[in-house]
């Protein structure tokens, strides 16, 4: 478990063989890290700590950087040991689902290009994801599951807060077509009042809501492309000018408006719970990890650490 963690999180070159008889810089519960391993970890952590070139660091900067990497290393090894100790696992089917979700965040072959650019092997990338999943499971089981928020706490937070608001919303009908010629033809028919906006949407609109007469329902500013922001300036039953986007040509008719207002407690409940839980879970994790660290046998060889550059 520990070796997999070190490979995936700190050393992006899986072909490197660690020299176990090198000087030991760190010993955590009999898990040893050599100076050669630590150097590789420094290189791997440059991007995270925004260090361009280790060799160009001043002595005090290098000392700060090494201690930050040391702290991170202690944390990752202790968590990895707890994962092993508590037999936290993930079955292959569950892991495959996670990998597929991660891959979906990349377009076409950009994942492979990113890995090549970052000098990360596919195996290390997958191991890093597995470590993250296992760590999250460990924290959920030993920390997050033991934290809860009461109804009283949520209501007190709501009463003291002024942050929960519903933005202005509009309900609009929408027509989208491919050509400017076609949208101008539709615009003329609307002005002549020969057909209703909804009827024209059913007849011409390429949008999925066309079958419902172009009804988009209620939406807030920011939920639609910015080209549609002017729709919020329209009065009820008014129709927009022609709007052009990469998707085509558009017309909107505003049929309803809801002004910005303060949300009630029930509407805010979910957000409040997330905010309070996140804060309590962060504090609980810090307390839990501090106890874990105090109970661990951690031996840092500062004389060896100081020689690493």
Structure tokens at 233: 């300036």
DSSP per residue, 86-107? TT----HHHHHHHHHHHHTTS-
| b (16+ CB within 10 A) / e for 64-92 | ebbeebbebbbebbbbbbbbeeeebeeee
Q: Give the span between the Cα atoms of 291 and 82, in whole angstroms.
A: 13
Q: Give the span between the Cα atoms of 193 and 230, in whole angstroms.
A: 23
Which pLDDT does position 14 carry in this prediction? 37
Strands 248-258 and 169-177, by their bridges, are antiparallel
Q: What are the backbone angles phi and psi of residue 19, rounded to the nearest 5°?
A: -95, 105
Residue 292 CB partners (closer than 8 Å, separation 6+): 78, 82
CATH code for the structural domain at 2-145+284-307: 1.10.4030.10
Q: Give the span between the Cα atoms of 96 and 120, in whole angstroms.
A: 19
Is the C-alpha dihedral spanning 91, 92, 93, 95 positive or negative?
positive
Q: Are 173 and 252 in contact (CB under 8 A)?
A: yes
What are the residue ranges of helices labelled H in 193-264? 197-204
Give the three-class secondary structure for 109. coil
Structure tokens at 50: 């925004």
Q: Match 């010629």 to its residue by tokens.
A: 181
pLDDT in tens, the chain (309 residues): 544 444 444 444 433 333 334 789 999 999 999 988 888 888 878 878 888 888 888 888 888 999 999 999 999 999 999 999 999 999 999 999 999 999 888 887 888 888 888 888 899 899 999 999 999 999 999 999 999 999 999 999 999 988 888 888 899 999 999 999 999 999 999 988 878 999 999 999 998 999 999 999 999 877 888 888 889 999 999 999 999 998 899 999 999 998 888 889 999 999 999 999 999 999 999 999 999 999 999 999 988 888 887
CATH 3.40.50.1100 for the 165-262 domain, yes or no: no
The residue extents of the domains of the chain are 2-145+284-307, 165-262
Which pLDDT does position 304 carry in this prediction? 87
Which pLDDT does position 16 carry in this prediction? 36
Which pLDDT does position 115 carry in this prediction? 87
Which pLDDT does position 108 carry in this prediction? 77
Which pLDDT does position 204 carry in this prediction? 93
Q: Give the span between the Cα atoms of 211 and 287, in whole angstroms.
A: 56
Own/partner pairs, 279-287, CB within 8 angstroms, 24+ separation? 280/147, 280/149, 281/143, 281/144, 281/147, 284/143, 284/144, 284/146, 284/147, 285/139, 285/143
Task: Report the predicted TM-score, pTM, of the whole model to 2 decimal places.
Answer: 0.66
26 CB neighbour count, 10 Å cutoff:
22
């Amino acid at each position: 478990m520990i070796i997999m963690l070190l490979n995936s999180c700190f050393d992006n070159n899986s072909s490197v063989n660690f020299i176990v008889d090198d000087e030991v810089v760190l010993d955590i519960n009999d898990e040893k890290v050599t100076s050669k391993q630590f150097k590789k970890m420094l290189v791997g952590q440059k991007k995270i700590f925004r260090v361009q070139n280790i060799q160009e660091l001043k002595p005090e900067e290098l000392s700060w950087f090494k201690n930050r990497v040391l702290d991170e290393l202690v944390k990752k090894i202790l968590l990895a040991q707890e994962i092993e100790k508590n037999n936290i696992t993930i079955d292959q089917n569950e892991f495959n689902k996670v990998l597929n979700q991660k891959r979906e965040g990349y377009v076409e072959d950009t994942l492979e290009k990113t890995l090549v650019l970052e000098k990360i092997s596919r195996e290390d990338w997958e191991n890093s994801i597995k470590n993250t999943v296992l760590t999250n499971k460990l924290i959920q089981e030993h920390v997050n599951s033991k934290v809860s928020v009461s109804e009283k706490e949520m209501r007190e937070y709501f009463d003291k807060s002024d942050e929960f608001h519903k933005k202005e919303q509009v309900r609009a009908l929408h027509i989208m077509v491919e050509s400017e010629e076609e949208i101008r033809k539709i615009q003329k028919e609307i002005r002549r009042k020969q057909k209703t906006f909804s009827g024209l949407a059913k007849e011409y609109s390429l949008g999925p809501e066309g079958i419902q007469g172009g009804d988009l329902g209620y939406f807030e500013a920011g939920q639609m492309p910015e080209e549609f922001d002017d729709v919020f300036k329209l009065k009820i039953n008014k129709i927009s000018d022609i709007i052009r986007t990469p998707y085509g040509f558009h017309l909107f008719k505003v049929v309803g408006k809801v002004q910005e207002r303060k949300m009630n407690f029930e509407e805010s409940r979910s957000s409040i719970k997330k905010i309070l839980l996140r804060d309590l879970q962060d504090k609980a994790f810090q307390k839990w990890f501090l106890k874990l660290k105090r109970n661990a046998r951690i031996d840092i060889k500062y004389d060896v650490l100081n020689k690493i550059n």
